[in-house]
Amino acid sequence: MEVFPTKIPDVFLLKPKVFEDDRGFFFESYHNKKLNNSLNKEIQFVQDNHSQSKKGVLRGLHYQIKQPQGKLVRVVIGEVFDVAVDLRKNSSYFGHWIGYYLSAENKQQLWIPAGFAHGFLVLSEYAEFLYKTTDYYVSEYERCICWDDPTLDIHWPLSEKPVVSVKDQAGQSFKEAELF
């Protein structure tokens, strides 16, 4: 696995070593010791999540204000534009975002530490999205920032208005949100 820093420290793009031949492919999608050594952190995951969404669905920007979750995210079918927003007030990157195209084809993963909001837009006909979390989901701690918040000015690759859940439509502005 190769680990690449992003423009926001503590967020990393991971590219696995893929072995392909005429039968198909194989790669190690997760290895705790290698990940911890690569990131120079001790990360333990407690929950795996799997979502499937149709083209044009935008999920996020989600985070937990208590029991914040670090996430290791990847796509196993289709393609998404994945976004992380730094919500750590003491960070010099506070309010900055990064976005990467993750797909079943490129097999890349994104490590997003606790203290970030996360969201993604489905670009393919549908996508299956997997992620590991460092803490458990607790609904009363979940918060949502509007995906189209003008302060954040995220450059989503949209060709039309996205499909957003009722809960996500009610997301707060960045300026009003509870932050870390």
So which residues are the catalytic ones? Answer: 62, 131
Q: Are 145 and 90 in contact (CB under 8 A)?
A: no
Please, what is the Cα angle at 6 between 141 and 11, to 5 degrees?
Answer: 25
Helix (H, G, I), strand (E, B) or coil at 93: coil
* Residue 56: strand pairing partners: none
Q: Distances from the Cα of 140 to the Cαs of 91, 101, 129, 165, in angstroms?
A: 25, 30, 23, 18
Token code pair at residue 165: 């859940």
Number of alpha carbons in the 13 Å side-chain half-sphere of residue 154: 30
* Residue 4: other Cβ atoms inside 10 A: 9
Cis peptide before 179 (omega within 30 of 0): no
